[in-house]
Amino acid sequence: MHTPKRRTFPLPAQSMNSWDKILSDPQDVTIEVIETGHLHISNMFFLNMKHPNAKGLKKEKITVPVYCYLIRHSIHGDYLVDAGLDQSFQENPHGNIRGLLRKLFWPLKSYQKKGQDIGTQIKEKGIDLKGVFFTHLHMDHISGMQHLPKDIRLVVGKDEPNYSFGPLFYQDNFAGVETLYEIDFDSARNLPPLGRCADIFGDGSFWAVHTPGHRKGHVSFLVNGKESVVLLTGDACDIKLGFDMGVGPGFGSYDLHEAQQSLERMKKFVRMYSQINVFFGHEIP
Ligand SMILES: [Zn+2]
């Protein structure tokens, strides 16, 4: 499996220092939702069943969409958040994930219709992609990368590992990619109640939000557009039920306690600013 080298993402000078200011000055940036398939998965991955608020919830299999998002900035161009499923999932519910233990480490099934993969959709839309920002490196968020350009800016949270176990479980999603850029939130501003947030273009339009827990380097995003303001939770909150009940992500997460704290910061933020639309990792209400 090819492993790109890591470098620190060069953050521009950070603009504003409070959400009151930032949200009162939305920018020329829009968001489009792109669906790349479905997962059939146990809800215990999405909801921490041991949390007191989860009392009464039943374990069950659910079917949810796999999203990525096209972020279009009037000056900086077009970027994706996540790359979704690649076309190998059209043939096989484990796609081209390899290794003897792939069913153990990826205990879910993924489905994709013809033409639904990100490579095809980007081509059809005629998009000149400038880069991809990843919420985290789980396979349903990165495998589409196999069919995207390699010489664009690819960005992850600092210390986010590529989810693999040597030859026993891997998918070669970054073949041909030289460098992954890491956002170092230590050099970003603390913007309560969300915590550390990085102003990606330096104009207040598009923010990376430090939401560790589901994964070590998990990142959520905020699109501060004139048409709409959208918080992309990523898998820091997979479904609306988790957000509404205050139950963080579940089984398979890196640190359940940290994940719960990340969820609670986002809940507080959304309570404070009623104009914010929330798109969950695997549900858009
Ligand atoms: Zn995930």
For residue range 40-64, list pLDDT tens digits in order: 999 999 999 999 999 999 999 999 9
Cα–ligand 1 centroid distance for 168 (angstroms):
19
- Which one, of 111, 137, 132, 113, lies nearest residue 122 by Cα? 132
- Which one, of 54, 16, 49, 36, lies nearest residue 245 by Cα? 54
DSSP single-letter state for residue 75: T
CB 185 within 8 A of CB 196: yes
Per-residue pLDDT averaged across 243-270, rounded?
A: 96
Per-residue pLDDT averaged across 10-17, rounded?
A: 89
How far is the CA of 263 from the CAs of 55, 59, 138, 184, in angstroms? 18, 21, 19, 20
Cα–ligand 1 centroid distance for 1 (angstroms):
20
Cα–ligand 1 centroid distance for 113 (angstroms):
21
* pLDDT at 102 exceeding the cut of 90: no
Cα–ligand 1 centroid distance for 15 (angstroms):
30
Instruction: Identify the pLDDT of residue 98.
Output: 85
Cα–ligand 1 centroid distance for 16 (angstroms):
30
Domain architecture of the chain: domains with CATH: 5-280 (3.60.15.10)
Q: For 111-132, how does the pLDDT look when each residue is reduced to its tens digit (9 = 90+)?
A: 999 999 999 999 999 999 999 9
Q: What is the pTM of this model?
A: 0.96
Cα–ligand 1 centroid distance for 14 (angstroms):
29
Cα–ligand 1 centroid distance for 233 (angstroms):
11
Cα–ligand 1 centroid distance for 201 (angstroms):
26
Q: What gap in Å lies between CA 99 and CA 215, rounded to an integer?
A: 22
Cα–ligand 1 centroid distance for 34 (angstroms):
17
Q: What gap in Å lies between CA 273 and CA 21, rounded to an integer?
A: 12
